[in-house]
Amino acid sequence: MSLVEEATRIAREFDYPAEQVQRGVSEYIRQLNEGLAKENTTLSQIPTFVTAVPNGTEKGLYLAVDLGGTNFRVCSVQLHGDTTFSLTQSKIMIPRELMASGTSKDLFLFLARQIESFLRIHHNEHFEAHLRRRLDGNHEQDLFDLGFTFSFPVRQFGINSGTLIRWTKGFNIPDAVGHDVCALLQSAIDELQLPVRVAALVNDTVGTLMARSYTSPGETGTFLGAIFGTGTNGAYVEKLDKITKLQHMKDAHYDKSTGEMIINAEWGSFDNHLSVLPSTVYDHDLDAESNNPGVQMFEKRVSGMFLGEILRRALLAIHNNPKLAIFKASETSKVSLPSDSLFYRQWGLDTSLLSQVEADTTKDYVDVKAALKDHLKIENPSNDECEAVKILVHAIGKRAARLSAVPLAAILIDAGKLDSDDVVDVGVDGSLVEFYPNFEGYMREALREVPQVGDAGNKKIRIGISKDGSGVGAALIALVASKDE
Ligand code: ADP
């Protein structure tokens, strides 16, 4: 068997045909409804207490902060009321000692100080006016409403309250666990006497939905927001009476007048038991050797953090076949890799390589060669080596895009969104959907193959990129929250 034949054989293992998409959709609908009824299900279906989406006419100046990784972002958003906005932003690296050794008070005071210097630089007039009014004994006037994007697991009780379940991503400040992170931020803000009210706790996927709903054309409002970046997740507008588990949440408080609430699906964990998800030996080994085996199984087949690693494992399998030559010096390959090459290292291949390779339309593999050089320092690969890489990239990327159609189709079908002639608006964000060539096209191909969607349903779905979920999206949630008061 030749190198290209072997790559083609492995690529076929990544096929995800129409009938499997259909099975995925049926199972997703089952898990979706289970998640609306009970706690501790595979799909968490988290109620966000956000009960309305914007229509583009919202106005005002709002603050948003984002704590979720190495940087803390502070921004102010001026909503002009005509689907446009202006955004001013600053980004500060969080000192390592505050992430992992201090107390929660140290961390939140640091965050509040960043908000203070942001206000002094960008909104000093407002800030000074507030201080003057405070001296007059008028405390409640002219507060900025702030949306707090906090990308760690929280148990939410209302639009501006939620307790931290555990830290992730290198943070470790034990005394914060179990506490309301909005209250922690608010008390640090109050200690510095800032004119700021923490109005909303924001999930970034919900922010994506809100940002798209404000900026999207037309009056329908956005139905669903989805992220295909480092991870994957989605949020959508659900009928309140279907979220039956809310009845058991005695402490919950929210506005019931719209009859709807945005649900954060946490779909990265769809089908963790692998009842319907496709699986190759490469998926299996990636999971087994990850630091969280058995969870986020959908995400591990779809998102940017994992696609490069799936590809690396498939290429390595061919590399280790003594009868075939890929990336090892031989009669047919001039490539020889050092033993410390990224090719041999777990997580050594970034998913941006897949986008570069997939974009190649040249007959002598100009972009594939550039990608192999950029990512693996490989010089002079043969045409067969390039072709093998291209075949596998295409298979892995296409499966990810087709899998992405499953939650989308399932949520639309379950909500009855395709039963009328109305357009259904969907906002998406993330490097994969933005940069992987034809990601949306492959996703739509799979959508059309689902009988309950079909060509007619697919045409009703309008998909648009929605940026700045944690900026303008968070500001919009702060606005909705302040109107609930
Ligand atoms: P995040 O999801 O962390 O907010 P991004 O949407 O930029 O940020 O996603 C980052 C992920 O996307 C990383 O896993 C990275 O490997 C992957 N990525 C970066 N650039 C590209 C690209 N051009 N094509 C596909 N994936 C990419």
DSSP annotation string for 265-294: --GGGTTTT-SSS---HHHHHHHHTSSSTT
Does residue 220 register a pLDDT over 90? no
Q: Which of 442, 440, 382, 444 is nearest to 412 (CA)?
A: 444
> Is residue 15 flagged as an active site residue?
no
Q: Which of 26-30, 152-156, 405-409, 441-445 has the lowest mean pLDDT?
A: 152-156
Q: For position 100, what pLDDT does the model report?
A: 84
Is 480 among the domain residues? no
**Ligand 1 atom, smallest distance to 350 CA:** 16
Q: Ligand 1 within 6 A of 436 CB?
A: yes
Same domain, 42 and 61: no
Q: Ligand 1 within 6 A of 350 CB?
A: yes
Return d(Cα 305, Cα 310) in angstroms, integer. Answer: 10
Return d(Cα 66, Cα 204) in angstroms, integer. Answer: 9
Q: What is the mean pLDDT of residues 407-419?
A: 98
Same domain, 119 and 237: no
Q: Ligand 1 within 6 A of 69 CB?
A: no
Q: For position 457, what pLDDT does the model report?
A: 98
What residues contact residue 167 under an 8 Å CB cut-off, 6+ apart?
152, 173, 176, 177
The confidence band for 139, taking pLDDT boundaries of 50, 70 and 90, is low
Catalytic residue among 26, 151, 290, 431: 151
Does residue 374 register a pLDDT over 90? yes
Q: Which of 354, 431, 467 to mutate to test the pocket of ligand 1 (most atoms within 8 A of CB)?
A: 431
Residue 289: Cβ-neighbour burial (10 angstroms; 0-12, 13-18, 19+): exposed
Same domain, 27 and 86: no
**In angstroms, what is the span from residue 313 Cα to ligand 1's centroid?**
19
The confidence band for 485, taking pLDDT boundaries of 50, 70 and 90, is low
Strand partners, 228: 232
SS3 39: coil
Q: What is the mean pLDDT of residues 60-80?
A: 93
**Ligand 1 atom, smallest distance to 231 CA:** 2
**In angstroms, what is the span from residue 409 Cα to ligand 1's centroid?**
24
Return d(Cα 103, Cα 188) in angstroms, integer. Answer: 13
> Is residue 345 flagged as an active site residue?
no
SS3 476: helix
**Mean pLDDT across the chain:** 94
Return d(Cα 453, Cα 66) in angstroms, integer. Answer: 36
Same domain, 43 and 61: no
Same domain, 131 and 89: yes
SS3 186: helix
User: How many domains does the structure of the chain reveal?
Assistant: 2
Does residue 283 register a pLDDT over 80? yes
DSSP 8-state code for residue 421: S
Q: For position 169, what pLDDT does the model report?
A: 77
Strands 59-67 and 71-80: antiparallel
The CATH number of whichever domain residue 442 belongs to comes to 3.40.367.20
Does residue 422 register a pLDDT over 70? yes
Q: For position 390, what pLDDT does the model report?
A: 98
* Domain hosting residue 44, numbered range: 1-48+218-466
Is 479 among the domain residues? no
Same domain, 31 and 143: no
Please say whether the beta carbons of 276 and 23 come within 8 A.
yes
> Is residue 402 flagged as an active site residue?
no
Does residue 136 register a pLDDT over 80? no
Q: Which of 364, 355, 357, 312 is nearest to 337 (CA)?
A: 312
Q: What is the mean pLDDT of residues 36-54?
A: 94
Q: Ligand 1 within 6 A of 355 CB?
A: yes
Q: For position 306, what pLDDT does the model report?
A: 96
Tens-place pLDDT, residues 307-357: 999 999 999 999 999 999 899 888 888 888 999 999 999 999 999 999 999
Q: For position 470, what pLDDT does the model report?
A: 85
Return d(Cα 353, Cα 372) in angstroms, integer. Answer: 8
Q: Ligand 1 within 6 A of 305 CB?
A: yes
Which tokens go with 373?
Answer: 């050089």
| Percentage of the residues of the chain whose pLDDT score is greater than 90 | 83
Is 65 among the domain residues? yes
